[in-house]
Copies of this chain bind each other. A is one copy, B any other.
């Protein structure tokens, strides 16, 4: 691993862990100096106009700029970077006399958020986010939760208007599901839209560690909004795993890929503790639903503020070819002086 790559890795570690800021800052500075040292000669050589004796300051500025830019370039060129594990995979149900049965096993795993960076995750079916559950309004659904965690837990179906006993809130609607136990949720899916499921027990910790997933309900009667070429789910999180889209940080985030002229739907879901105003470059988004409920008056934007617990559905007409940055516009969630990281991906519109 080159010095520059090492410093990028170091930077990521220190951004993640505020408790180590003082130490890491020193390390980062040291790394930056190393990087500068190794690139000064090259960049001076690469910018001959700046190489004269009268241009020492300019040469130094260029060398520093080159060193910084090299880190930025590496991070972007690595995108989309491979990591082990992929969250939000559609879970195929088993059928039991017309009931769609989904099994979720919650347990502690190691999760790679970006190349080489592993975190402790509490995950459903070894995925962060947990597997995507996708059903149709009016279907009968059974969700069997197996708890292999060291804590009790429970599943709340956030946005679904279920019978009270299926709401998943320990001591309000059910007993906690203890380690080693299982619990069965069963219901007829009442309302359509982009919903979520997540732990509702010790939730500030358990959701932060990954016990969350998308629960998508297609409407009983398909609407024109359903006619899209691609349907993307975009779960935002900002807990102990860092700033993530679908459990991964840039450059390990997944790009959204479409062809010129296609129409895509994006379902934003915020499972974190902070707002994330999502900014798309190059094209606007038409907002068609809030928390799964269609808007009678859709509106357009390029920056959509998504608050914790909210879901927003948007349509993008892919009219502008190219690779477009797509990121949280709280800039420290997306870029540092070492390059882009965290809540960044791209919409790729192919000709």
Contacts and interface: CB of A to CB of B under 8 A. Distances in A.
Interface of A: 47, 49-50, 58, 61-62, 64-66, 68-69, 72-73, 76-77, 150-152, 156, 158-159, 161-165, 167, 169-173, 176, 178-180, 191, 200-205, 207-208, 273-275, 277, 279, 281-284, 290-293, 295-297, 299-303, 305, 307-311, 320-325, 329-332, 334-337, 346
16 contacts: A62-B180, A68-B202, A72-B170, A72-B176, A77-B171, A159-B302, A165-B322, A191-B284, A277-B309, A284-B291, A291-B301, A291-B303, A295-B297, A297-B297, A303-B307, A308-B330
A6 B284 CA distance: 49
A158 B279 contact: yes
Given A62-B180, A152-B65, A273-B330, A76 B297 contact: no
Contact of A332 (B66, B204, B331): B204
Given A47-B180, A275-B305, A303-B310, 19 more contacts: A61-B151, A64-B150, A68-B151, A77-B171, A165-B322, A167-B282, A172-B346, A204-B336, A207-B331, A277-B307, A277-B308, A277-B309, A290-B300, A291-B301, A291-B302, A293-B301, A296-B297, A296-B299, A302-B309
Nearest to A151: B65
B50 A169 contact: no
Contact of A323 (B76, B172, B301): B172
Contact of A164 (B69, B307, B320): B320
A33 to B, nearest CB: 16
Counting every copy of the chain, the complex holds 3
B283 A161 contact: yes
A179 B64 CA distance: 10
B273 A275 contact: no
Nearest to A168: B281
Contact of A308 (B151, B295, B300, B331): B331
A329 to B, nearest CB: 3
Given A72-B171, A277-B310, A307-B277, A324 B164 contact: yes
A308 B329 contact: yes
Leading 5 A-B pairs by shortest Cβ distance: A164-B322, A309-B329, A293-B300, A305-B307, A303-B309
Contact of A176 (B61, B69, B202, B323): B69
A283 B162 CA distance: 9
A277 B308 CA distance: 6
Contacts of A282: 161-162, 164, 167
Contacts of A66: 178
A106 to B, nearest CB: 13
A325 B50 CA distance: 52
Contact of A305 (B300, B310, B322): B310
A82 to B, nearest CB: 19
Contacts of A334: 203-204
Given A299-B296, A302-B159, A203 B65 contact: no
A60 to B, nearest CB: 9
Contact of A72 (B201, B290, B297, B303): B201
A69 B320 contact: no
